[in-house]
A and B are shown apart, each in its own frame.
Chain A
Amino acid sequence: MTTTEIRARALVLGDDINTDLLHPPQYFGIAREVVLPGFLAGFPLEFARQFQPGDILVGGRNFGCGSSREAYVHAFRYARVSCVIAAGFARIFYRNLINAGIPLATHPTLSHDLHPGEAVIFNRNDWTLFRPEIGETVRLTPPEEHLQKILAAGGLLRYLGLEK
């Protein structure tokens, strides 16, 4: 397995999942101990508990609609979300993930196709998702070329040369 491959489980979410569900406003902050407990805290506890470090989030349409509060991205990093795939992203959320260097891609039906917790292998090199259970390779739509450059640099701060 090369480093461009991410072997993970998919936590499957629906359409119009908003930022208040992904990270409720009372967990806004900078410190890890404030921010991390808010990860998925808008969902019922038993659902949020299914997430394990390294998992992939798979959403439906308009994923991440709502706030610009980037604390949710910090929470994603602290919780170790390895990749986010959705049918469509809300625009600020999309930019925020790219700026943080968190890989993302789109696919129109994946949130319906996968079963909760399904094991998958995401390949960042050719933007595919392999489903070992059924032996199928799913082709994903990568971000626009301009954004892939920011992602490849490891996020906006590195892309702008502000961070080494």
Chain B
Amino acid sequence: MALSTLTQLESLFSTAVGRTVHAGEVVETSVDLVMGHDATLALAIADFERLSCSLWDNSRMLIACDHFAPPVRSDHADLQKSVLQFAARHQVPDLHMYRGICHQLLLEDTRVQPGRIVVGADSHTLLAGAVGCFATGLGATDILGCLVTGKTWFRVPESLRVTFTGRRKPWVMGRDLALHLLGRLGESGASYQALEMWDGTKDDLAMDSRAAICCMATEMGAKAALFTPDEITRDFLQRRDDDILLPFPPVAIDEERYVDSLDIDVGNVDSLVAKPHSPANVCPVAEVKGTPLDEVFIGSCAGGRLEDFAMAAKLLAGKTVARGLKVIAVPASVTVQRQAIALGYFQLLSEAGVCLCNPSCGACGKLDKGVLATGDTVLSTSTRNFQGRMGPRDSAIYLASTATCAASAVTGYITPPADVWEEL
């Protein structure tokens, strides 16, 4: 099979199914890992048990209790209980109780390797593509099919090639690059496509930034997003997997097969904001500077990693959050939490007046702590600013990087991090 005449995704699927396949073909393929969480997996389990299904391979599952972590409503506790009972009944080894957001846990899981096929019962499963795998979200019924058969179908996606070059301004984060892409592509600009990203910045995009970009590709309609494995991937995997490094799949792509190609000089991107009510409603932070805030949320799978805590601590060290402002920070996993504690970030944030919660999805989906009041405006690192996503219909969500959120937490209104950077 001549992989050099394919996109990376075509190459990945060709390897998976054992014959050359091209974008547009529908293939049945086995999956390497199936992820589910306490909310969506509960739906699959209800059918699974009702139909007395048997589980294909319990070692290829990752279950996270992260949406109701811990539950605040008894009906949510009931859903979670069904997931816990399922994990016990089928002896699923990987049950993560309140240990972080499912997508971050995938990123931290040794089974998530370049070239593999990962499916999850959640739209932001794309995040795991940061290490160079195909990772995508499916609904509960599709996940049920995977749990029983170990297989699913995909239409091999067309690929859009994104190349990053240059050097970031110090306050510009992966999240800003994701917003830049959203601004250019729109809410459906990458529908059914895969974003294949190549980092030509020479070590400027760490794994945490890559994860934020892959996660937010969901909001562009993408089926998958991946970074071509490189030295950063190698370093990350070596540290994560105790020096065990599997060979990377060969990458020899044909430029002609890409639907489009975007070149982004990261040095030309400044801090950005997505205004209500679309993640693609993007403008420079300066344009909405001064917008008064009721809440600042730093967390979720799009922004609760160590890089985010380091940035928040840098901007909030020795300062105090604005009086009466709800400032909530939630680490994306216990690993992030422990590192942030060890590095002193929690102490600095706590002294600044930030409310630090346990690893979980947090305020992102109106299911957990941090729900907005009527008329509230929040600046958030979370994934979506759909109307009513974090509170009542008349609440407003602005999405931004952790740097922008931390700078704004001090003033109480939307503040470009560049404005305060010189004082640091």
Q: Which A residues contact B (CB, under 8 angstroms)? A: 16, 18, 20-21, 24-26, 28-31, 34, 42, 44, 61-62, 65-71, 73-74, 88, 90-92, 95-96, 99-100, 144, 146, 155-157, 160, 162-163
Contact = CB atoms under 8 A, between A and B. Distances in A.
Nearest to B157: A91
Contact of B278 (A16, A74, A95, A99): A16
B229 interface: no
Contact of B39 (A16, A69, A146, A162): A69
A25 B191 contact: no
B187 A30 contact: no
A61 B188 contact: yes
A43 B299 CA distance: 27
Given A71-B43, A90-B221, A95 B188 contact: no
A90 to B, nearest CB: 6
A72 to B, nearest CB: 9
A30 B43 contact: yes
Contacts, number: 118
B75 A20 contact: no
Contact of B138 (A21, A42, A95): A95
Interface footprint category on B: 35 or more
A53 B374 CA distance: 31
Majority secondary structure, A binding face: loop
Contact of A156 (B40, B141, B223): B141
Interface string B113-155: 0000000011100000000000001111110110011000101
B253 to A, nearest CB: 23
Interface string B47-59: 1000101000000
A92 B137 contact: yes
B43 A24 contact: no
Contacts of A69: 39-40, 139
A157 B393 contact: no
A90 B121 contact: no
Contact of B388 (A21, A99, A163): A21
A152 to B, nearest CB: 15
B175 interface: no
Contacts of B75: 29, 31, 34
A68 B188 contact: no
Contacts of A157: 47, 51, 141, 144-145
A25 B366 contact: yes
B156 interface: no
Given A69-B39, A69-B40, A29 B79 contact: yes
The 6 closest A-B pairs by CB, nearest first: A62-B188, A96-B139, A99-B141, A20-B386, A70-B140, A70-B139
Given A18-B386, A21-B388, A62 B187 contact: yes
Given A16-B187, A65-B188, A99-B141, A91 B47 contact: no
A146 B40 contact: no
Given A25-B389, A30-B43, A30-B79, 14 more contacts: A16-B278, A42-B393, A65-B221, A68-B40, A68-B122, A71-B43, A90-B221, A95-B139, A95-B142, A99-B141, A99-B145, A100-B141, A157-B144, A162-B144
